[in-house]
Amino acid sequence: MFTVATPTEARPIDIPSAFLVLKPPPGIDPRIRDFDRELLTAWLNFANGGIDLTDQVGVTDHVLITFADEVSQAEALRVDPSSTKKELDQQRVILEKFNHLGS
């Protein structure tokens, strides 16, 4: 059982519902779909031991961010109804870097 947060509530979801994040129905905005997929993949990689909370990736040439800080920012952004698709895209790129550590 997982807990999912939306702009209006946090509620538990089951495994089949979690798979809908990885393969959502048609009509979901591709930028939101891709962001959700990277975020869930990051959490699954963490749960599997592939990512540690202290792992870091570069946000810019001179700025690093830890996994703990990134997922915190990404989760807050996802439930904020005022988040822009550009912000989701920027966070998705960082999450993707974590998801490809060691690849």
Predicted model pTM: 0.77
Q: What is the number of domains present in the chain?
A: 1
Helices and strands per DSSP (H, E), number in the chain: 4, 4
* Tens digit of each residue's pLDDT (9 = 90 or more) over 35-71: 988 998 999 899 999 999 999 999 988 899 999 999 9
- Residue 74, judged by CB atoms within 10 A of its CB (0-12, 13-18, 19+), counts as buried
Q: Residues with Cβ < 8 Å from 73, sequence gap 6 or more?
A: 91
Confidence at residue 11, expressed as pLDDT on a 0 to 100 scale: 57
Helix (H, G, I), strand (E, B) or coil at 65: strand
Please give the residue range of the domain that contains residue 24: 2-99
Q: Is the pLDDT of residue 7 over 50?
A: no
Q: Which residue has the tokens 């990689």?
A: 45
